[in-house]
Amino acid sequence: MGRLVKKQYALLKRLRASHIKEEDIRKDIHQIESGVRGENRLLQKLKELRLPGSYRIFSDVGLQSGEWKVQIDCLIVTDRCCIVLESKNISDDLYFNEDADEFYKVDRNGNEIAYRNPYFQLLKHIRFMKEFFRLLNLPQMNVTGAVVLTAKSCRIRQKPAHYPIFKLESIIEKIIHMYELPSSFQLSSEQLDFVEKMIWKKQSAFIHRPLCESYHISPNELIRGVECPNCSTLGMKRTGKTWTCIKCDQRSRDAHKNAVQEYFWLVSKEIRNKDFRVFCQVDSVYAASRMLNSMDLQVHRAGPKTFYTQKKDR
């Protein structure tokens, strides 16, 4: 998630002040950063965990089975079971309405704010992990889990009794209880090592669409130019093989590399010579070609058309 926030800040930097989408982007950034803080609180709490058997803790796990992709906040794989933890950093009074399958909070001003119900997200991830273990020829592995409310100032005002939703301060005891549930199956040390190896091997990073597409922003609305690595001013000038800042006179030979990275994040997964010249404000076709070819990019040629992509999403 931190990578997405970095891309969102890059987008804000290239939008003019008071752009119509600025508030939406800042709201998304706030939500993601809040979620990351909550996940970090959970990981800090898990340092207190002690179980009689072996276990492994994984955070921010991206897995894929065919077309099915999931992003799980935290996995605890033990010798007796797999525990899925979904972290939610939401403050104020929280309500889980089973009849309407709704989850919402009431803030200090009495406003109701609806959220996606994390209980169903948890169930989906439990189903995925059951499928994951079945494909590893370990169908007997018990998979369970809980939603962990990590905000320091949240109160659960309404919750069905069978919803496994707990506050952070109680999660260690809840994990121990889940671990101690009766089970006739137990992983050997070799099997646990194998599961750990496969989780790392099957990690699949979520590939985000270019943010202009996600936020329905025309690339023509972006402020173009290469950013100064010293003062962050956009619009460095290229003279010979050197970029020079129009504000602080900082010089750089490779400042265009960050601009190309931001083009991939914001505009398109592909960049042509013409795209580079427009975005980086370069006049020379040959200079643009030289800079693109000097970067660690994948070159694609189809007849007269040449374009470049990243070798992997970053």
pLDDT, one tens digit per residue, over 238-265 is 999 999 999 999 999 999 999 999 999 9
pLDDT, position 215: 97
- Which residue stretches of 136-242 are H helix? 171-180, 189-201, 211-214
Reply yes or no on whether the pLDDT at 82 is more than 70: yes
Question: Edge-to-edge strand order for the sheet containing 81-88?
Answer: 55-65, 68-78, 81-88, 142-149, 165-167
- Mean pLDDT confidence for 51-59: 96
Q: Average pLDDT of the chain?
A: 94
211-244 pLDDT, tens digit each: 999 999 999 999 999 999 999 999 999 999 999 9
Which residue type is seen at 127? R
8 Å CB contact between 241 and 102: no
Only one residue has tokens 């926030």, namely 5
| pLDDT, greater one: 14 or 4 | 14
What gap in Å lies between CA 178 and CA 198, rounded to an integer? Answer: 23
For the chain, which domains are there? Answer: 2-201 (no CATH), 224-310 (1.10.10)
CA dihedral 198→201→205→206, nearest 10 degrees, is -40
- Mean pLDDT confidence for 282-302: 94
13-53 pLDDT, tens digit each: 999 999 999 999 999 999 999 999 999 999 999 999 999 99
Reply yes or no on whether the pLDDT at 96 is more than 90: yes
* Banded pLDDT at 311 (limits 50, 70, 90): confident
8 Å CB contact between 197 and 140: no
- Mean pLDDT confidence for 90-116: 92
This prediction has a pTM of 0.84
CA distances from 184 to 79, 141, 142, 181 (A): 11, 10, 10, 10
